[in-house]
Amino acid sequence: MTAIHRHPARSSVSLLVPLLAGAVIMVALGVYGRAHTPTGFAVGVAGFSAALPMKVWLTTAAAALAVVQIVSALSMWGRLGIRIPEGVHRWSGRLAFLLTIPVAFHCLYALGLQYDVPRVMVHSLLGCFFYGVFTTKMLALRKDGTPGWTLPVIGGLAFTALVGLWLTSSFWFFTAVGFAV
């Protein structure tokens, strides 16, 4: 396994399509979440007592896998002095993303984008931002000609957004409600 090296002098123009696609996803989710009439109906709560604990625990698992993403990315870029197989990075990312899907679906479908409570507003906006940044990262990942800073910066933004989502949902739940399943 070799460390990934990008050429820093390459043009940022190669990021135009991934950035535009990410922006479209982010705005589309926000518009849908705001325009859609929330159903209030909980979906996908199998194995959990209610939708909120399901969202809390799936987000917690995704955030834990995001930490694996950071550690494995640092290893791939040769920053740790140890080698973690690239498959760990790929599969932890895939699994983290898959865990966010039922959460996002429930948030958009049942609750919509909300602005009335500051914590919930920040959470809603971070959710849209996360999927926009994730889209950008996935499209930029295999694109030739991207500057060397592309993946660390966009990956860092995705990680930061996911941690922000965890703080405004799971952490809030654990401190306000407890550790219900």
CA-to-CA distance for 109 and 155, rounded, in angstroms?
27
- For helices 51-76 and 150-166, give the axis angle rounded to 10 degrees: 150
**pLDDT tens, position by position, 72-96:** 999 998 899 899 998 999 999 999 9
Cβ 162 vs Cβ 96: under 8 Å: yes
Indicate yes or no: pTM above 0.75.
yes
Residues ≥6 apart with Cβ < 8 Å to 18: 135, 136, 137, 139, 140, 143
Domain ranges of the chain: 25-174
- Residues 39-85 pLDDT 10s: 888 776 778 888 888 999 999 999 999 999 999 999 998 899 899 99
Which pLDDT value is given to residue 4? Answer: 53
